Structure formats: structure tokens, C-alpha cells
């Protein structure tokens, strides 16, 4: 197929002919509505949101593919992102009207015909020199709304493209990349608005959540996630986050407080609340910033109409280990003594699994989901950690030369009991399927001063293995804390999880395998090697009576960059960049 490059994107000339016929992959394209997004989990012929629905449960009611026939599933096409731009491929594809939209490393996005695997168009952002993504040049996915495909770039720009042509319809800057702002998350659509966070917590930026009119890109509201900063609504001041400055921060440190919202969020239509997690406070050296440092390492419930914070839950107050609280908060219901509990769950980077009342943020229960936690002795009745202060990295000013504080061995490592990789919740089993890692770290504090655009850590670290394995996919009962089953993997797990009504759970490994498990027992019922490490998130949908499954393969992300001794364990894994698509034979 011949292609040509137009205005920073690659446009397929063959695709123009398709457009002139008014059809696309045999189906007329229809605009994606708010209703389509709210119903995404129940409508099995497409995937129009990150997380397979606004709650982010990553559960499909499809059961055509099940434990009895999954071994017959086979690849039908593999699409290469091409070129030398590989690195980590952490994307989750979207599918609408026979077209897949999938992002790739270095801020690229592709439209692919799902029947043939043929490229329809691609767009590649023109990235400036000097971008500062902390944890690889990845992108986790796009959003689709009306006739637009919307995604963010590494230089913190939000771009809306025409679904049919890939041409830019609007473009908005989210932050100054020279100050350390970047963007790697998948945007979220709520009530006709595109809702985004921001990356850059390691550079002393100030986290924020913003909502824009999805059709125009115009800013509706902005909510900083560090107390003391002013929010806005329709261009006017809309209250200071936390009410005032310096309540839980010292001096002017709130001005460079971190709390980056780098993973994006979920939305609960029942309560009409956006759930957004926040990252570490800056700098990492906690002795420089006494106090709880709100709203870092927290989950925030935000009113989508005003951008006001309705409630918050801080998982690691006064964080000294880089235990970002960004991990997805997933709304779910369960029965307790005959009553329905409106709950939400998150598996935190700090190693604890939390169940909250999503109506008010009250703590219901919490428990470890990884072994050997050292930094805390447990959680109190309100879910606040009971610190073991001997396990906090020491203050450099207490040392003889003032250059290095006491080193401690902290479990989990700063890469977390669970990092960004999304877990899944099965409505069939009532279990969460958590991609976790068992590892620890030597960590110490050092002096540091803020400088715009420079790393703002004040800590050093070395990540270490604890057992023969690191990766662990766990089936967790949120009502009891029981680990129902566990799959151990040699290398760290760094990809997302999918659960289906066919009693199946899917995820990938750095060794390149797509695994399928029996959701109830953990038995491996499917295994296929994609040729490169998997750090993406699988999806499934139905087309013409057949169930498809897709996953992006391509090794990279934070582990090889920040993994220390652990990185040596995965140094021989090949890079790649391929979308693999599978289905059952019709027979």
C-alpha cells in the first residue's frame, strides 16, 4: 500500500478511496456518544474506553471464548509499528466500527482495519528536543468521542484527530515540558469532556486534573492536586485546593509539591464522581517536608461539573519511599448481610489493598497483597499506615558529613507491589486479578534543592529480588483479603489484565507470553509467545459473531530503566512493537 506524509502524520492513499465510498471496514462509522462510553462494558461489539468502561473493571461479558475452547484460539494478524522506534509499548487498543485505534511509543497512533490488520492511517507527533519523561517514551492509550480520536504526547500536548483521516482537529498544551511536565496516560471522557492528569512528579511539577470540552479542547476546569494552589472553572477562580497553603507542607515546598496525576482516572456514574490517583510528593527526601503533604499519594473523588474535590483518601501520608497513589480506583458492588455495599478498590504501590466506601471515601478494609512489607506494621482502623520509623530512610543532616542518610531495606521497592499496570475485576467470580511484584530496595536520602527542569529526588536506591520469582498474578477476594490463587513469574509483571465471563483471565509477561488462566482456579489454559515482552493491556470484543482478543507486545517501561539489580534479570529481552490479534475459528 502506498502512503504519504501529510502535516506530521502518515495518510494512506488507499484509505482515501475507502472514505470516498463512505464506508469503513464494511460498516458506516457512527460518532461515539456519552451513552456509548457509559455502556461500554455491556456492548460487546466495540471497546470505546480505556478500561472497557468508565469504572475500569476490565471485564467483558463475552463467553464465546471459554476455558473449554480457548486452546483453539489463534492469531489472525500481527501489525508492526515499524521503524526503529521501539521501547515500551504500554497501550490498550480501542475498537469502533471495525477500526482499531492504538497508540505506540514516541507519541504515535495508528488506525487499523480489524479484519485485515491493514493500516488505514497513522499520526506521529513532532516531539521537541529536551523532553523529560521519567519512565520511558510510552503511551497508554487514546479516547474516542464523537468523530474524534484524542491522545496525549510526551511534550504534554493533547491532540484530537479526525477518526477517518487522522488529521488534527484541535491541539492544546497541558504543561511546560521544559519544567518537566509530560503526558503518558489515556484520556478519559466524562459528560462530553476529556479529563486528563499530568506526568512529571520526579521534576517538582504540581499535579493537576483538567477537563476540556471534548469537541473543541477548550478548558472547562482545572484542579491542582497539591494544597495551596488555585483551581479554576470556566476561566474564573474556583477555590484553593485544601482551602489554604502550608497546612500539611512546610514553607514554600507546596509550590513544587509533585502529586502528579500521571496514570489518569476512572469514573463512577452511580455517584457521578471522577476517581483520580496522585503520585509522590516532591522531593523524595521526606525529612525536607514534614507533614502529610496533601494531596500526594492519595485517591481523590472529584465532582465532574465543578472540579471540586468531594473526598480524599491518602494511602501513604508523608511518603518517603516513592509510593505513588496513582493506581486505579475501581468501583464495584458486593453484598454484606443482605445489603449492597457501594465500594471501590485499589491495589496500592505501597503493598496494601484498600476497599473504600465510594460514596464518602470511608475506609472499609485493607490488607497486604504482597509479602514481607517492612515500611509499615499494618493499617489502623481508618486505613492510615502504622509506620515503622526505623524503616524510613534516614535524614542526611544526621550523618557526619551531611551527604547521605541511613540506608534501609524497604519492601516493596519504589516500583511498587503494583505499579501502573491495571488489574481486572470479574463480575462472575467477585475477585480482583492483580498484577503484582515481590521485590525490595535499599533506599537512602541525600540533600537536594529544586531547579526547574531537573530531577528533584534527594534519594538513592537499589532494587533487589527477594525470591526466585518477582512477578505474581494474584486472584484477590476484596471481602476477606484471601489470595485465592497465585501465578508466579520469573520476571516482573508490567502489563494489564482482562477478565471475561468465559471464566478466563488474560495477561502478558516480559518473556513475551500471552497467558490465559482459569479465573476460578488459576490453571494456565492458554499460552502464546509474541516475540517481545508484553507490557500492554489486552482487550476483547465481538465482530460478525466471532470473539476477538488483541494485545500489544513490545518490551520496555520503567523496569529496564530503574530496575537496578533486577534490570539485569531482563536485560536480554528483545524490544518490539506489534499488535497481536486473535480469534476462535468459526467452526
Task: Sort strands 471-476 and 483-489 into parallel, antiparallel or unpaired.
Answer: antiparallel
The three cell numbers locating residue 33: 456518544
184 assigned to a ligand binding site:
yes
Residue-level pLDDT at 5: 38
pLDDT at position 267 is 98
User: Any known ligand binding at 382?
Assistant: no
202 assigned ligand-binding residue: yes
Whose CA is closest to 259, among 323, 188, 303, 330? 323
Residue 530, marked binder: no
Q: Are 256 and 206 in contact (CB under 8 A)?
A: yes
- The C-alpha cell at 123 is 499520526
Tell me the three-class secondary structure of 290-301, residue by residue: CCCCCCCCEEEE
Query: What per-residue confidence (pLDDT) applies to 570?
Result: 83
SS3 assignment, position 18? helix
Per-residue pLDDT tens over the stretch 405-442:
999 999 999 999 999 999 999 999 999 999 999 999 99
Q: Does 34 carry a binding-site annotation? A: no
In angstroms, the CA 550 to CA 540 distance is 6
Give me the residues of the chain with pLDDT under 70, please. 1-29, 84, 587
Cα separation of 346 and 509, whole Å? 22
Does a cis peptide bond (omega within 30 degrees of 0) precede residue 412?
yes
Q: Which secondary structure element, helix H or strand E, spans residue 569, and what is its range?
A: helix 565-569
Digit-coded pLDDT (tens) for 237-249: 999 999 999 999 9
List, by residue number, the catalytic residues: 322
234 among the known binding-site residues? no
Sole residue written with cell 463512577: 268
C-alpha cell at 563: 530496575
CA 412 to chain centre: 19
417 and 370 Cβ atoms separated by less than 8 Å: yes
Q: Which domains does the chain have, with CATH numbers?
A: 32-581 (2.140.10.10)
CA 151, chain centre distance (Å): 14
Return the SS3 of 560. Answer: helix
Reading the block at residue 45, the C-alpha cell is 461489539
Whole-structure pTM value = 0.94
* 322 annotated as a binding-site residue: yes
d(CA 292, CA 269): 30
Alpha carbon distance 492, 460 (integer Å):
21
pLDDT value for 13: 35
**Going edge to edge, which strands form the sheet with 74-80?**
74-80, 578-583, 546-553, 539-543
Amino acid at each position: 500500500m502506498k502512503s504519504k506524509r501529510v502535516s506530521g502524520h502518515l495518510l494512506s492513499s488507499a484509505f482515501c478511496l475507502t472514505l470516498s465510498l463512505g464506508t469503513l471496514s464494511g460498516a458506516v462509522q457512527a460518532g461515539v456518544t456519552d451513552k456509548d462510553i457509559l455502556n461500554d462494558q455491556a456492548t460487546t461489539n466495540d471497546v470505546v474506553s480505556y478500561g472497557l468502561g468508565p469504572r475500569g473493571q476490565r471485564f467483558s461479558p463475552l463467553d464465546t471464548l471459554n476455558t473449554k475452547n480457548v486452546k483453539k484460539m489463534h492469531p489472525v494478524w500481527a501489525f508492526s509499528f515499524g521503524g526503529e522506534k521501539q521501547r515500551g509499548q504500554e497501550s490498550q487498543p480501542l475498537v469502533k466500527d471495525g477500526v482499531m485505534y492504538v497508540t505506540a511509543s514516541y507519541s504515535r497512533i495508528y488506525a487499523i482495519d480489524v479484519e485485515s490488520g491493514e493500516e488505514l492511517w497513522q499520526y506521529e507527533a513532532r516531539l521537541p528536543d529536551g523532553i523529560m519523561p521519567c519512565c520511558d517514551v510510552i503511551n497508554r492509550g487514546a479516547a474516542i468521542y464523537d468523530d474524534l480520536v484524542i491522545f496525549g504526547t510526551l511534550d504534554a500536548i493533547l491532540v484530537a484527530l479526525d477518526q477517518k483521516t487522522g488529521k488534527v482537529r484541535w491541539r492544546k498544551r497541558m504543561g511546560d515540558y521544559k519544567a518537566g511536565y509530560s503526558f503518558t496516560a489515556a484520556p478519559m471522557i466524562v459528560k462530553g469532556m476529556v479529563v486528563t492528569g499530568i506526568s512529571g512528579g520526579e521534576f517538582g511539577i504540581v499535579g493537576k486534573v483538567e477537563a476540556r470540552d471534548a469537541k473543541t479542547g477548550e478548558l472547562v476546569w482545572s484542579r491542582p492536586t497539591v494544597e495551596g494552589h488555585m483551581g479554576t472553572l470556566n476561566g474564573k477562580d474556583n477555590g484553593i485546593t485544601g482551602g489554604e497553603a502550608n497546612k500539611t507542607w512546610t514553607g514554600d515546598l507546596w509550590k513544587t509539591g509533585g502529586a502528579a496525576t500521571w496514570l489518569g482516572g476512572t469514573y463512577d456514574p452511580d455517584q457521578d464522581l471522577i476517581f483520580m490517583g496522585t503520585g509522590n510528593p516532591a522531593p523524595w527526601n521526606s525529612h525536607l517536608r514534614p507533614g502529610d503533604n496533601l494531596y500526594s499519594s492519595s485517591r481523590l473523588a472529584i465532582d465532574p461539573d465543578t472540579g471540586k474535590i468531594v473526598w480524599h483518601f491518602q494511602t501513604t501520608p508523608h511518603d518517603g519511599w516513592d509510593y505513588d497513589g496513582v493506581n486505579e480506583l475501581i468501583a464495584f458492588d458486593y453484598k454484606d448481610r443482605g445489603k449492597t455495599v457501594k465500594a471501590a478498590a485499589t491495589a496500592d504501590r505501597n503493598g496494601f489493598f484498600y476497599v473504600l466506601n465510594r460514596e464518602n471515601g470511608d475506609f472499609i478494609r485493607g490488607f497486604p497483597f504482597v509479602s514481607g512489607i517492612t515500611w509499615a506494621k499494618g493499617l489502623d482502623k481508618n486505613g492510615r499506615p502504622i509506620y515503622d520509623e526505623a524503616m524510613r530512610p534516614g535524614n542526611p543532616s544526621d550523618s557526619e558529613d551531611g551527604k547521605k542518610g541511613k540506608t534501609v531495606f524497604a519492601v516493596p521497592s519504589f516500583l511498587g507491589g503494583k505499579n501502573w499496570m491495571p488489574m481486572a475485576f470479574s463480575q462472575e467470580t467477585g475477585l480482583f486479578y492483580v498484577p503484582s511484584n515481590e521485590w525490595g530496595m535499599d533506599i537512602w536520602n541525600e540533600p537536594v534543592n529544586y531547579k526547574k527542569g531537573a530531577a528533584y529526588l534527594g534519594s538513592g536506591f537499589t532494587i533487589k529480588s527477594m525470591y526466585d520469582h518477582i512477578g505474581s498474578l494474584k486472584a484477590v477476594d476484596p471481602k476477606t483479603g484471601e489470595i485465592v490463587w497465585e501465578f508466579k513469574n520469573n520476571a516482573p509483571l508490567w502489563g494489564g489484565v482482562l477478565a471475561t465471563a468465559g471464566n478466563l483471565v488474560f495477561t502478558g509477561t516480559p518473556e513475551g507470553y500471552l497467558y490465559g488462566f482459569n479465573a476460578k482456579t488459576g490453571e494456565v489454559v492458554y499460552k502464546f509467545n509474541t516475540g517481545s515482552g508484553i507490557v500492554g493491556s489486552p482487550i476483547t470484543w465481538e465482530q460478525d459473531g466471532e470473539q476477538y482478543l488483541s494485545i500489544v507486545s513490545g518490551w520496555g517501561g520503567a523496569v529496564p530503566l530503574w530496575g537496578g539489580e533486577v534490570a539485569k534479570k531482563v536485560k536480554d529481552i528483545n524490544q518490539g512493537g506489534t499488535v497481536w490479534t486473535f480469534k476462535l475459528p468459526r467452526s
